[in-house]
Amino acid sequence: MKTCEVYFHYMNKPQILKNTKTFVKKTLKNAEGGHDWFHIQRVWNNAKLIAKNEDADLFIVELGALLHDIADSKFHNGDESLGPKVALEFLHEQRASPEIINHVVKIIENVSFKGGNIQQEFNSPELEIIQDADRLDALGAIGIARTFNYGGFKGRALYNPEISPDLNMSKEEYKASTAPTINHFYEKLLLLKDRMNTKTGREIAQKRHEFMELYLEQFYAEWEGSK
């Protein structure tokens, strides 16, 4: 890259981040409550917190966090190519470097949890940070609220004792599952604590995990009328 190009990208990083925030807020204006701008904002803040203790490119971390759910496949007929495509086109318009665009696209392609048996094909310190930040938002009080909000959005039952969690689903089965919302705790949420990448992520996840365990204990007690 030529010196003038390096200077251009360096000087415009704050503007690119500002434009990205504006773009994401507008794009997700009417999104489902658990995957809206406020989810992005929480992940962005989590990512910046985690990055303080990691050796990573903060600009990539912030861009990836802001764009990680720009077109979540769950709300676009399962199309996993749309999010990366939207991000690529937007960053190209911002005149970001090809290296930055490629890295952010790879992050978007690999950040999501796609079932307990899926191995991701790309890794970087920046992806690890964003992945932890996103997973933290699926844990604790916020995670519980988001889970039931999405379950209601999809018309799922709260709980059915006759339908057991399935921990051996393929990626396709996981995406197509219509199981009760409580099952999602076992099929995803309670698995996340042991899949965190960073020390900061693990420490925060542990506390949120314990909160969810207490919640489930209370849920079952109330379901049975014993508390």
Domain ranges of the chain: 3-224
Give the CATH architecture of domain 3-224.
Orthogonal Bundle (1.10)
- pLDDT for 3: 47
Residue type, 14: P
Q: What is the mean pLDDT of the chain?
A: 89
Encoded tokens for 210: 């314990």
Distance of CA 217 to the CA centre of its chain: 26
- pLDDT for 148: 96
Q: Name the more confident of 103 and 226.
A: 103
Q: Name the more confident of 62 and 167.
A: 62
Write out pLDDT tens, residues 31-57: 888 889 999 999 999 999 999 999 999
Helix axes 140-153, 199-224, angle to 10 degrees: 60
Write out pLDDT tens, residues 70-84: 866 565 555 577 889
- pLDDT for 114: 61
